[in-house]
Amino acid sequence: MNLTTEDSNTLREAKEILESPGLVIKLTNLIGKPIEKGFDLLPDNWSERISMATQGALQQSLKFAVNSLGESRSFAPSDFGHKVAVMVSGAAGGAFGLAGLTVELPVSTTIMLRSIGAIAQSEGENLKESDAKLECIRVFALGGRSEEDDAAESAYFTARMALAKTVSEAAKHIASQGIGKEAAPVLIKLIEQVATRFGIQVSQKMAAQAVPVIGAAGGALINTLFMDHFQDMAHGHFTVRRLERKYGEEVIKLAYEQA
């Protein structure tokens, strides 16, 4: 099946978003110096602390996604309130640095998830369905292309394939048994896999905030950029899924690769 000209252009725009340079380049442009300088300023145990904070934030977001997404009125994808809320939490994170991450990250991640959910709805997703809810969580594993990626491969579809089986199994579990007080092994696996990818970008965010000239005000700007990045990923991802529902997954994957 051939795509219409409009859908072909839409898919091309989605690919430009999903394969665009990752967050680290955007942060480097914002702070005006290599992000590595910020890593040098983080304490020795920064990796472990970020890993714990990231998994905790995603666990809370998963519960929010399952229990809340699709259960209340939808917001427009451009809802400015999401950005304002993230700026406020980012200012707090910038003021307290790594010590405030365990408090700030769950808040900003949940705010971002609400915005991602609104974008999903705008592209026709039914957020009362388990798989649609988990697709919102999956967005946190989409980071755009990095310098290490194989130029011949799609960073987006590589990330999707890496999580496909776990997302499918987790959706089936939630549909039949719900979220539960104790996370099932398949849900723990999903959190761990998403956290591995999301944690890289959280680390980049914290490194940028560690630069002395950034501070609290810069933390707000960085969090806004952080949110914009995942909003972009959500727009691209749910556009691709909308076109897949219309034309089929294989047709869209082939058209994406040729775009």
The total of structural domains in the chain comes to 1
What is the per-residue pLDDT for 149? 53
| Whole-prediction pTM | 0.87
Q: What number of other Cβ atoms are within 10 A of residue 163's Cβ?
A: 20
Is residue 88 scored above 80 in pLDDT? no
Residues 250-255 have a mean pLDDT of: 96
Q: Looking at residue 60, what is its pLDDT?
A: 92
Distance CA 146, CA 140 (A): 15
Q: What is the rounded average pLDDT of the residues 215-219?
A: 59
Q: Residues 155-161: what's their mean pLDDT?
A: 91
- Least confidently predicted of 24-33, 104-113, 118-127, 247-256: 24-33
Query: What's the pLDDT score for residue 86?
Result: 47
Domain housing 93: 5-258
- Model confidence pLDDT, tens digit, residues 54-75: 999 999 999 999 988 887 555 5
Mean pLDDT of the chain: 84
Average pLDDT over every residue of 209-230: 75
Q: Are 195 and 83 in contact (CB under 8 A)?
A: no
Nearest to 31 by CA among 201, 236, 229, 205: 205
21 forms beta bridges with 145
Percentage of the chain lying above the pLDDT 90 cut = 50
**To the nearest whole percent, how much of the chain has pLDDT over 70?**
82
